């Protein structure tokens, strides 16, 4: 089981992380140790329209691969927060996810472990099972 939250801004992401750090997580009846930090992974992706379709073709391609990797490859008790960005917001060169030192993204979709900008996967790497496996092995 994967815990997953969805947000649409940096403020919402920071709020979700604060909540996650204060919540108790159980997987298959086993509780996460309270004295250990929960692994938090952030996915930054293109927002979806009313029909559930993202404006970002790379995000559409990566979504099922990322979901499978979250279930099968991520460390136990991991929490994922997906940030959905509108096209205009992402295309703005001053977008906080491009400029903030915790992200410094140049492409989406992107996957990183909170709160570090490195290592991260971006664009087609997020649809590459081998790259995802290598990424998650760093946190095993």
78-137 per-position pLDDT tens digit: 999 999 999 999 999 999 999 999 999 999 999 999 988 788 999 999 999 999 999 999
DSSP letter for 105, please: -
Domain ranges of the chain: 3-137
DSSP letter for 14, please: H
Catalytic (active-site) positions: 56, 59
Place of tokens 């140049």: 106
Q: How far apart are CA 89 and CA 51, in angstroms?
A: 20
pLDDT confidence of residue 33: 61
**Exposure of 6 by Cβ count < 10 A (0-12 exposed, 13-18 middle, 19+ buried)?**
middle
pLDDT confidence of residue 64: 97
pLDDT confidence of residue 28: 56
The mean pLDDT of the chain is 91
Q: What is the CATH number of domain 3-137?
A: 3.40.30.10
Q: Which two tokens stand for residue 19?
A: 């909540």
Q: Which two tokens stand for residue 14?
A: 């920071």
């Amino acid at each position: 089981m994967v815990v997953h939250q969805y947000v649409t801004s940096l403020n919402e992401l920071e709020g979700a992380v604060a909540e996650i750090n204060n919540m108790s997580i159980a997987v298959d009846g086993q509780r996460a140790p309270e004295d250990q930090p929960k692994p938090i992974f952030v996915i930054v992706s293109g927002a979806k329209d009313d029909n559930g379709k993202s404006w970002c073709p790379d995000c559409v391609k990566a979504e099922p691969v990322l979901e499978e990797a979250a279930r099968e490859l991520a460390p136990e008790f991991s929490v994922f927060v997906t940030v959905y960005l509108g096209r205009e917001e992402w295309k703005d060169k001053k977008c906080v996810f491009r400029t903030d030192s915790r992200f410094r993204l140049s492409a989406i979709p992107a996957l990183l472990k909170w709160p570090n900008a490195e290592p991260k996967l971006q664009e087609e790497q997020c649809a590459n099972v081998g790259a995802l496996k290598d990424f998650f092995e760093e946190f095993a």
